[in-house]
């Protein structure tokens, strides 16, 4: 019998990227075909009909540039989504800037493609003063921008719900303080008469969760903090990689690492941290970087900036 924790998301994950790419290619290809057919029918009612190849060039060049821009919109949505809760005005302002840039690249790219096709056909493409008419083009492009970004957001939200979220258990009670420190006797003090600070002056130790409750498809189970192989920053979430499974916890990687044992978990990259006990091999790379081979069979990048911290942690573990 297979692992009961292996759900639909984990079966989908290995083919996720190819299917995502195929989805956008198929979607925009179908849109280009339908738009071309509608434009050809509409052209028959014009006083001066244009050849079919010209109409096809107009529609295909536009949709080809949209396909080219999809990865950029995925990145924009991922970067700006954390702002919606705490900085709504900044969120909207950045999307306004991004939509304008999207429109400029889209228009310039599709006009360039059209000019290239016309040149290959021995014709001249008339740009028709598009700079002065960019406002009109932007009104069309901003609707496309909103549609694509909303679709990316909805898909990402669906994957998060399918993947499941983890939450910390064993949260310390409010008002918890550090254990009192017993001061040494005068006979044990050094010549300088050093006295340790009072116990109530010491800051409380950082909360270190021992377990996490994971919910997936109406099922719940526990994972131990020590079972985490490595961690990855994923926007406003942290991906917990545990025995070949991926779980999400709502936090930033920097904040979450402060809750874990620094003798066991070490940051090795801007967006990755590892459990030192789970490292199987360290493979040096050119330029001072490294590749960490984990016991679960995965690899984690280690940048030169964090190599010293990795060495120190491995040496003390």
| C-alpha to C-alpha distance for 212 and 26, rounded to whole angstroms | 40
CB 218 within 8 Å of CB 183: no
Tell me the three state secondary structure of residue 96.
helix
Query: Residue 37 has which token pair?
Result: 């057919």
**By mean pLDDT, which of 3-12, 34-43, 101-110, 118-127 is the weakest?**
3-12
Strand order in the sheet with 237-242: 219-224, 211-216, 165-168, 245-249, 237-242, 230-234, 272-275, 265-269
What class does CATH assign to 206-316? mainly beta
Paired strand residues for 275: 265
Residue-wise pLDDT for 279-295, tens only, equals 999 998 888 888 999 99
Confidence of residue 181 (pLDDT cuts 50, 70, 90): very low
The ranges of the chain annotated as CATH 2.40.50.1020 are 206-316
| CA 6/CA 73 separation, integer angstroms | 31
Position 79 pLDDT exceeds 70: yes
Query: pTM to 2 decimals?
Result: 0.61
């Amino acid at each position: 019998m297979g692992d009961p924790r292996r759900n639909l998301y984990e079966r989908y994950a290995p083919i996720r990227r190819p299917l995502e790419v195929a989805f956008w290619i198929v979607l925009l290809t179908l849109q280009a075909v339908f738009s071309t057919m509608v434009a050809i029918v509409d052209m028959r009612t014009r006083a001066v009909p244009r050849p079919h190849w010209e109409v096809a060039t107009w529609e295909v060049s536009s949709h080809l540039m949209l396909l080219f821009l999809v990865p950029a919109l995925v990145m924009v949505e991922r970067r700006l989504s954390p702002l919606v809760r705490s900085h709504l005005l900044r969120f909207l302002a950045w999307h306004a800037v991004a939509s304008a840039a999207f429109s400029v690249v889209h228009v310039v790219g599709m006009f360039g493609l059209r000019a290239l096709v016309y040149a290959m056909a021995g014709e001249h493409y008339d740009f028709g003063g598009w700079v002065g008419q960019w406002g009109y083009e932007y009104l069309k492009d901003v609707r496309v921008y909103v549609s694509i970004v909303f679709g990316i957001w909805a898909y990402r939200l669906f994957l998060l719900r399918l993947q499941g979220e983890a939450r910390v258990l064993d949260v310390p009670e409010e008002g918890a303080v550090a254990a009192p420190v017993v001061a040494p006797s005068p006979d044990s003090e050094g010549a300088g008469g050093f006295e340790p600070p009072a116990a109530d002056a010491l800051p409380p130790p950082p909360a270190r969760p021992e377990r996490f409750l994971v919910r997936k498809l109406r099922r719940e189970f526990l994972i131990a903090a020590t079972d985490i192989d490595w961690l990855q920053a994923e926007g406003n979430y942290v991906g917990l990689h545990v025995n070949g499974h991926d779980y999400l916890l709502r936090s930033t990687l920097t904040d979450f690492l402060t809750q874990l044992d620094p003798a066991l978990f070490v940051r090795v990259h801007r967006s990755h941290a590892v459990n030192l006990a789970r490292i199987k091999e360290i493979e040096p790379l050119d330029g001072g970087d490294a590749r960490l081979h984990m016991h679960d069979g995965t690899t984690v990048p280690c940048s030169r900036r964090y190599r010293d911290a990795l060495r120190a942690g491995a040496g003390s573990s």
